[in-house]
Chains A and B, each alone.
Chain A
């Protein structure tokens, strides 16, 4: 066989072997993922990164890239879990162990940031993600960086210079892009070395900021999103001082840039988990899924405000309209924090009315006297689960506020120091504050913008802001630039401002976890309400029911939550021919409720599968001495709600009872339905748009 043919054969064998190896690799890592957290991913990534793929065919290179990208992504998820676990452990520890965990957290976050940068590089290299065309200057910088580079790849395969710079800043060894170019080595680039000469500030000047630090990009994206959503260009500059400061940090030195790029985006608090909501009719109505009634109602009624004082819920069988005295009170003065405080007892009282649905077309047409099946009122007796409770406010004021202030103080001190030392700092920001909204407005008025999707619009505004920052701030931090920094100022940024910023952000991450824990605790305290319900029976006697509802999570039965109901009901006008007396019945119900993680929800959705075992007993006095009836009615029930994606959930119940109110007969009943929580859906969509 000729030598050329042998070489081709060897190459094919090598390619096939590598392909099998890659496939085997991804399978083995997947199966072992839970056993050995992130170490396996780390090892496998190292092995793959060290492979020399320059002699491989394009299809195997493609498999190689996809395998490595998949590993990077899985490794990032694994690191996220490990960071979360470590944060929890850090909260429970102190002294030396706390310090060790702090160190571990720093290292994990740096590792995660590095891996995310590699993902970006791969995504761009694989054309998975659109990237702005780098300017010619930047391309030159890229070739300067890749000191070991072989002849450059075609332009379509080039990685933007700023992305390469990011990899360099990550400082974590070489990354093989697998596109035929040589690995990018850990070489430092002198920041600003390829920048244009000094020039007066030109607000319209723009240069692609190909790889902005995560903390800056996040801030810009949020501002751009608000500008687009509100159609208000000024929103694009709301956090301008922070944007300018981060850009200066990024440009000051390779060290400061690296430190800044090690910071995660500042995350605001949000929610997707809410398990204490009970919508719809009372527990014993036909459409109800659960046989027990929860005492919480304030939050549900709170939504009455959004809908002009009254909220409605239609489950197909019943239409329930709800309101609270507070929502009515607030309709005149507005629902401000002060109004809420002034309302006092009114925010403890809720009212609702349930109507039978027989007109599916016009649901509000069902809200008439003939269709009224019940109306009720609830009063919260004791237990405050709101974040306005004195206990939570004390925690917030003592533990959280100082940390929020610490971060603001760090930002303020940094800006104030730099602006007092650099004569052009205030001037540059001043010009940007005035001209940037106009530039954004012009962009938003362009035909291209009007024809774009919301995501594209946000990207356009974000690119414009970043381009402005790059040209007007980043490029001015250089010798003879308007924001030229001396060695002392660079040292202060590297050794004081950035470490302080990092510390304050780390503290807030810990505080965030504690806030969530405290809020979870709020819903576990005892809560008691008194409920009055008036039932309208078209073919019988109307009656009223009084109930004491109690819920306790932090009790003897943990991890199960205890919910208890005890009630008496009375006939408004007892009918002696039907054996009725004033006292209709006595009832009691007890429920043990638990929860577990749901495998069916999105990663950011904290909704849990809830399940409960309910026992209910009712003594119905009119059934005494009547054939085919029994006064003692017992029921056992299993209730479950399984959350799915996008706020959808499946509530279901299975009930066994020895009789009904009308008949002594053992029976089994199965109920199920679908529920859409629009609040949860809103939060999930918002979280997705933030990504």
Chain B
């Protein structure tokens, strides 16, 4: 996997991708992340407290896999709460890869694009 920017990566067919999420500073407030790969639900292989999503690249160049994600902050969440997202593939270039989405951010939905290259 090669990083282009925080939410764009070039990957190869057959490569395994993992997206780990660590909610921080939520204290007693619920953290909740949902993810969708193209048009199918991406199941959480981790726990509610440390979600983890993974999939294998099945498309071929020049198609793109998109992971639609929504990060939720329920109304009781402290203002310093964040989700720290790390993305890993195989033989990663330009990583550690990922980003964070915090309570202070206005955008809480995003799409991570995995552009398939030869």
A residues engaging B (CB < 8 A)? 219, 221-223, 225-226, 229-230, 234-235, 237-242, 266, 268-271, 298-299, 302-303, 305-306, 326, 334-338, 340-341, 347, 386-388, 392-393, 396, 400-401, 404-405, 407-409, 411-413, 415-417, 419-420, 426-427, 429-430, 433-434, 437, 515-516, 519, 679, 682-683, 686, 689-690
Task: Let me know if A234 and B5 touch, CB within 8 A.
Answer: yes
Contacts of B17 in A (CB 8 A): none
Residues of A within 8 A of B32 (CB): 396, 400-401, 404
Q: Which residues of B contact A (CB under 8 A)?
A: 4-8, 22-32, 34-41, 47-50, 62-64, 66, 68-70, 72-76, 78-80, 104-111, 113, 115
Docked-complex contact B110 and A238, CB < 8 angstroms: yes
Q: Are B68 and A241 in contact (CB under 8 A)?
A: yes
CA A223 to CA B109, docked complex, whole Å:
10
Instruction: Verify B28–A419 contact, CB threshold 8 A.
Output: no
Q: How far is the CB of A535 from chain B (nearest CB, A)?
A: 29
- In addition to A219-B107, A239-B111, A415-B66, 4 A-B residue pairs with Cβ atoms within 8 Å of each other are A239-B107, A271-B75, A419-B63, A519-B74
Number of interchain pairs (Cβ within 8 Å) = 189
Closest A residue to B115 by CB, please name it. A430
CA distance A438 to B22 in the complex (A): 29
Q: Which of B23, B63, B107 contacts A337 (CB 8 A)?
A: B23
Q: Are A299 and B28 in contact (CB under 8 A)?
A: yes
A417 to chain B, nearest CB (A): 8
Q: What are the residues of chain B within 8 A of A238 when measuring CB–CB?
A: 7, 107, 110-111
For the complex, give the distance between the alpha carbons of A159 and B78 in Å: 44
Are B28 and A340 closer than 8 Å at their CB atoms? yes
Task: Determine the residue in chain A with the shortest Cβ distance to B64.
Answer: A426
Q: A401-B34, A433-B4 are in contact. Are A305 and B29 (CB under 8 A)?
A: no
**A404-B26 contact, Cβ under 8 Å, with A386-B76, A426-B62, A433-B8:** no
Name which residue of chain A comes closest to B66, CB basis.
A241
Inter-chain CA distance A266–B23, complex, in Å, is: 23
CB closest chain-A residue, reference B36: A408
Q: Tell whether A306 pairs with B80 under 8 Å between CB atoms, given A335-B27, A338-B49.
A: yes
Q: Which residue of B lies closest to A273 (CB)?
A: B75
**B22 to nearest A CB, angstroms?**
6
B38 to A: closest C-beta gap in Å: 5
- Dominant secondary structure at the A interface: helix
When the two chains form the complex, which single residue of A335, A347, A392 contacts B24, counting CB atoms closer than 8 Å?
A335
A434: chain B residues at CB < 8 Å are: 4-5, 8
- A240 near B111 with CB under 8 A, answer yes
- Given A240-B111, A270-B75: A226 touches B4 (CB 8 Å cut-off): no
Cβ B29 vs Cβ A404 within 8 A = no
Contact status A239-B79, CB under 8 Å = no
Which residues of B lie under 8 Å from residue A219 when comparing CB positions? 107
Residue of A nearest to B35 (CB): A408
Instruction: Check A387–B30 contact: CB distance below 8 A.
Output: yes
Q: Closest CB-CB distance, A30 to chain B, in whole Å?
A: 33
Say whether B30 contacts A388, CB under 8 Å. Answer: yes
Known contacts A335-B24, A434-B8; A396 and B30 CB within 8 A of each other: yes
A269-B73 contact in complex given A241-B66, A299-B28, C-beta closer than 8 Å = yes
If the complex has contacts A306-B78, A306-B80, A519-B74, are A337 and B31 also in contact, measured as CB distance less than 8 A? Answer: yes
**Given A239-B107, A336-B49, A404-B70: A412 touches B113 (CB 8 Å cut-off):** no
- Report chain B residues within 8 Å CB of A335: 24-27
Given contacts A335-B24, A404-B72, A679-B79, contact A388 B29 (CB under 8 A): yes
Instruction: Name the residue in B23, B49, B78, B106 with the highest tally of chain A Cβ atoms < 10 Å from its Cβ.
Output: B106
Bound complex: CA A337 to CA B23 (Å): 6
B76 and A271 contacting across the interface, CB-CB below 8 Å: yes
A528 CB to nearest chain B CB (Å): 17
User: Which 10 pairs between the two chains have the least Cβ-Cβ distance?
Assistant: A386-B28, A271-B75, A337-B49, A241-B111, A222-B106, A387-B30, A408-B36, A238-B110, A413-B39, A302-B27
**Chain A residues in 8 Å Cβ range of B47:** 338
- Indicate if the CB atoms of B62 and A427 lie closer than 8 Å: yes
Assess whether B105 is in contact with A416, with CB atoms less than 8 Å apart: no
> Once the chains bind, are A519 and B76 in contact (CB under 8 Å)?
yes
> For B111, what are the chain A residues with a Cβ–Cβ distance below 8 Å?
238-242
Q: Which residues of A contact B5 (CB under 8 A)?
A: 234, 237, 433-434, 437
Identity of the chain A residue whose Cβ is nearest the Cβ of B101 in the assembled complex = A238
Q: Is the CB of A412 within 8 A of B68?
A: yes
